[in-house]
């Protein structure tokens, strides 16, 4: 089996989020996230697992949808998200936030952890059916969450 590791300086996004039940992470804060993609599979007729360029372009496109956004977990059972009149109201325990709709992205996850962001991004990548894909999202050097199918 062959594999490729796709990493590019343009595969990044800066975003804010908060986590419930996580001490200091409960405060709204942000990261400069980086993304890496590992694809394992057979060689195609061109002698490649996948075309690096295509993977990079797709990953950059996904990163751009998250860049400079407040990431909100749409499937959370402890956070209420109401989208109304161009604003997003967020309630988490005793906290209440109101953001312009254009500044938010609601992700269909229970939380906005690096691991769940990796799974979300994995689900938006296109790759051959006979390949295994691992997506890793780093919040900072040494703090990386991954998802692999």
Helix 114-124, helix 52-66: angle, nearest 10: 120
pTM for this structure? 0.93
Looking at the chain, the whole-number percentage of residues with pLDDT higher than 90 is 87
pLDDT digits (tens, 9 = 90+) for 60-115: 999 999 999 999 999 999 999 999 999 999 998 888 999 999 999 999 999 999 99
The domain limits of the chain are 2-74+104-148
Superfamily of domain 2-74+104-148: 6-pyruvoyl tetrahydropterin synthase/QueD (3.30.479.10)
Whole-number Å distance between alpha carbons of 114 and 124 = 15
């Amino acid at each position: 089996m062959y594999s490729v590791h796709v990493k590019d300086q343009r595969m990044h996004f800066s975003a804010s989020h908060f986590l419930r039940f996580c001490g200091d992470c409960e405060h709204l804060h942000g990261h400069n996230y980086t993304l890496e993609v590992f694809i394992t599979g057979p060689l195609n007729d061109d002698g490649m697992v996948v075309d690096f360029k295509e993977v990079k372009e797709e990953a950059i496109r996904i990163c751009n949808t998250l860049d400079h956004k407040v990431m909100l977990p749409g499937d959370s059972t402890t956070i209420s998200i109401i989208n109304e009149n161009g604003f997003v109201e967020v309630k988490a325990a005793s906290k209440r936030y109101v953001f312009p709709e254009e500044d938010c992205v609601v992700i269909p996850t229970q939380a906005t952890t690096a691991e769940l962001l990796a799974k979300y991004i994995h689900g938006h990548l296109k790759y051959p059916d006979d390949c295994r894909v691992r997506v890793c999202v780093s919040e900072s050097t040494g703090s990386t969450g991954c998802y692999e199918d």
